[in-house]
Structure 1
Amino acid sequence: MNAQVERRSFTVIDGNESSEREMRRYNALLEETVRQRTLELEQTNARLTESLRQLQATQAQLLFADRLATIGQLAAGLGHEINNPLAFIIGNLDYVQQQLVRTAGTSTPEEHQELLEALADARDGAERVRLIVRDLKVLSHPNDMERGPVDIVATLRGAVKVAAHELRDRARLVETLDAVAPVNGHTARLCQVFLNLLINAAHAISPGRAEQNEIRLSVRMCDAHRVVVEVSDTGCGIPPEHLDRIFNPFFTTKPVGVGTGLGLSVCHGIVTALGGELSVESEQGRGSTFRVHLPVYEADEPRARAEPSRAA
């Protein structure tokens, strides 16, 4: 009887030890599986992080390439805008030089006043050139990661200066630029948006009838937290069947070689990335209105690096 009890006791002990060994083996296997899965997840996360970095770099390159393409499209007009003031700068300086040589310090008050006026005109022309070059520098700024308070009125005026030659022969520009709060964004990227919208408005109007058409540019506070910019034209308008597609990449109604179809898509991407909205209303034959809603800059909101506004 005692022997049977002992045998049963050993059997129970052996069974417990076997269960414990099996449990330890199972736990070790589970820990190894978790370790492997964790390592795989870390590697996958590293690959995803690198892919995201490459995607962001590619997107920044695309935005910058579109901006430079826009500048290239405007190159002839910009050359004209710069050459005009340069011509009268040089002309006035030549005149002053000749007069100084002729009078040799014996100029009359009238001649002295003429020299002062010629120098003032030359300085005005130089200032025009400086502003154009500054606006081009802002537009070609390659760093698309900086974000901070942007003076939207100054940015709009900078875009107008760059687009002036494109607009002049097509429509009268009517500006209503109310004082508004700074927006949270990036000066060069916002200038790119407004420049694209102004050029699109100009291209919707046939050249040679500037007195019969107008492009309206306005900015105002939409509410306490948003600013709205509107670019309206009296051009050809957008067919209803195209309205749902105009922000799609590569969609364009322009002839081959005139547009890539990226402009409005890039604008939409920039605005939405900044927390804003880009919308359009259009009536075929009567014109279009593009609206850009942007968030007001809040001093305590996080950002990578603050950017002082550098537009005009």
Structure 2
Amino acid sequence: MNLSIVIPLLNEEGSLSELHQWIVKVMAENNFSYEVIFIDDGSTDASWKIIQQLAAANPSIKGIRFHRNYGKSQALHAGFAKAQGDVIITMDADLQDSPDEIPGLYTMVTTGGFDLVSGWKKKRYDSIVSKNMPSKLFNWAARRTSGVKLHDFNCGLKAYKNIVVKNIEVSGEMHRYIPVLAKNAGFAKIGEKVVIHQARKYGTTKFGMERFINGFLDLITIWFLSRFGKRPMHLFGALGVLMFLIGLGSAVYIGAMKLYKLYHHEKAILVANNPWFYIALVTMIIGTQLFLAGFLGEIILRTKNNEERYKISETL
């Protein structure tokens, strides 16, 4: 099978039929063998009913329905697990991503040598204040932090080799950072393609300004996980030892000064009245706690079980 098209969605009843027709047209024009996997992330409208109708009419349509809304990352995780195509395309269901871009993305993966190709919505039809400007700031920070030189991390239109999606773990709200996850997993050939961005035709956006706050918090998380996710002791242990040594040095200083004054028969102040006593005490306690945090992190990392992140109520 050439292509698996993975489409997460939430309350997109107005666009699904039109999107399906558009995808089928592109697949027929390019003679692709394909499957389309719709992941209904807890829609409360008629989205799942429409997916059932599409699947009944077209055997290439598959569906996954979540018991409730779990988020885009969980939807992509479920879609990636089900996908069987040589190349996996992800796109949004709101018709802002054009299926006409699929052949170009497919070619870049199959003949261009890329493990992953991300779309770049160079010309956007979103609000400048609520989306464009925050997106530019967010993408700049993501480039600087991750080292992945993409202009549009959050573009839903992406293409992957099958081996990539089977070897990355998309959880939380990490769908924004799939290229970073891929790079950390050893898939460093990441390309970018300018794609058409269309104005939303049906419904309303499911994302507000809070997604950018969450995005920056997730950026810190992905930075930490990429560097210390497999070895938390290297961070917490190192900081703990450093803090403990600062405290120990302060304690040695206090003791040395006390002995010095006693040896020279000078009047020495009480240890409890010496500010260095509190510096030593606090830093040694913090150092011990940081070291224990790293130690516990190592234990949890080695004993954790894969938790159930979502519940699927129906599949097609």
User: Normalising by structure 2, what TM-score?
Assistant: 0.25
Highest RCO, 1 vs 2 (Cα 8 Å, sep ≥ 6): 2
Higher helix proportion, which one? 1
* Greater gyration radius: 1
**TM-score normalised over the length of structure 1:** 0.26
